[in-house]
């Protein structure tokens, strides 16, 4: 997302805001001629630039200035949505250092996952350093639909679909949890849409109707789907068009 109505900033501060290290490190990168702005090498860390729409290059890495970072990751299986994974590699290891180091007021630096996917769940995962965006996308009050492609152990029956649409009771919540949409697209393949996120929700909902999840892939959030050319483990910036598709 483009920065709007920002005042000119020193190049050192621009690099710092984008996660390229401490201000001292950023100043050193500039003074050692490792930074280009609009194709021109800049060695004065105090030189001012308009941040909106600015592209700069640090040691060969092209980087667009982003007031807030909004990215899409095609999460592969065998990764944890945690900064401190217990068993599997962290999804954050798939991201470049600047995204992991972006300064934040909170103790945790860098972009954060908008909700979590289990280590064996694949698909669309959003990450950002915008706390308001995380709240808006995660809150059940906003009813942002999330579509899951579910592979089941047992054949899917019409009765199971009806129960998922009517609502099932999970063991820790007496209030029934309903699917916003549910469709059997194959004998062992279910397309399930949810507007809230609870711990292991899809797996527990399928267990509640007498089935078991063998494979789980999130294919869509709001109107946003994973680009066909984005392989598992790859990420890209969200465009303004993408962000508009996420609005409920």
Tell me the pLDDT tens digit for each residue of 131-160: 999 988 987 777 899 999 999 999 999 999
**What per-residue confidence (pLDDT) applies to 248?**
67
The set of residues, in sequence order, having a beta carbon less than 8 Å from that of 168 and lying 6+ positions away, is 176, 177, 205, 208, 209
In this prediction, residues 106-135 reach a mean pLDDT of 92
Q: Can you list the alpha helix ranges (DSSP code H) found in 83-209?
A: 97-101, 131-138, 158-166, 201-208
63-105 pLDDT tens trace = 999 999 999 999 999 999 998 888 999 999 999 999 999 998 7
Output 187 or 174, whichever has higher pLDDT.
187
User: Average pLDDT for residues 234-245, to the nearest whole number?
Assistant: 96
pLDDT at residue 244 tops 80:
yes
Question: What is the per-residue pLDDT for 4?
Answer: 54
Q: How far is residue 157's CA from residue 176's CA, in Å, rounded to a whole number?
A: 20
Half-sphere exposure of 211 (CA within 13 A, CB side): 27
Is the confidence at residue 108, as pLDDT, over 60? yes
Active site residues: 118
Domains parsed from the chain with CATH numbers: 9-64 (3.10.290.10), 70-140+224-245 (3.30.70.580), 145-221 (3.30.70.1560)
Least trusted range by pLDDT, from 17-26, 106-115, 154-163: 106-115
């Amino acid at each position: 997302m483009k920065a709007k109505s920002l005042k000119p900033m020193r190049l050192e501060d621009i690099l710092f805001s984008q996660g390229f290290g401490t201000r001292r490190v950023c100043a050193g990168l500039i003074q050692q001629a490792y930074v280009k702005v609009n194709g021109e090498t800049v060695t004065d860390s105090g030189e001012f630039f308009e941040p909106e729409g600015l592209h700069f290059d640090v040691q060969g890495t092209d980087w667009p200035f982003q007031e807030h970072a909004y990215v899409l990751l095609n999460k592969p299986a065998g990764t944890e949505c945690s900064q401190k994974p217990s068993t599997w590699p962290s999804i954050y290891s798939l991201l470049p250092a600047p995204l992991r180091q972006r300064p934040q007021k909170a103790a945790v630096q860098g972009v954060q996952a908008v909700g979590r996917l289990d280590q064996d769940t694949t698909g669309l995962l959003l990450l950002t350093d915008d706390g308001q965006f995380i709240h808006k996308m995660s809150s059940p009050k906003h009813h942002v639909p999330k579509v899951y492609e579910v592979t089941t152990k047992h054949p899917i029956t019409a009765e199971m679909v009806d129960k998922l649409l009517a609502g099932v009771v999970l063991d820790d919540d007496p209030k029934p949890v309903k699917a916003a949409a549910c469709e059997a697209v194959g004998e062992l393949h279910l397309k399930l849409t949810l507007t809230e996120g609870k711990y292991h929700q899809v797996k527990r909902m399928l267990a509640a109707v007498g089935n078991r999840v063998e494979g789980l892939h999130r294919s869509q959030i709001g109107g946003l789907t994973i680009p066909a050319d984005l392989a598992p483990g790859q990420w890209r910036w969200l465009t303004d068009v993408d962000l508009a598709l996420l609005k409920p």
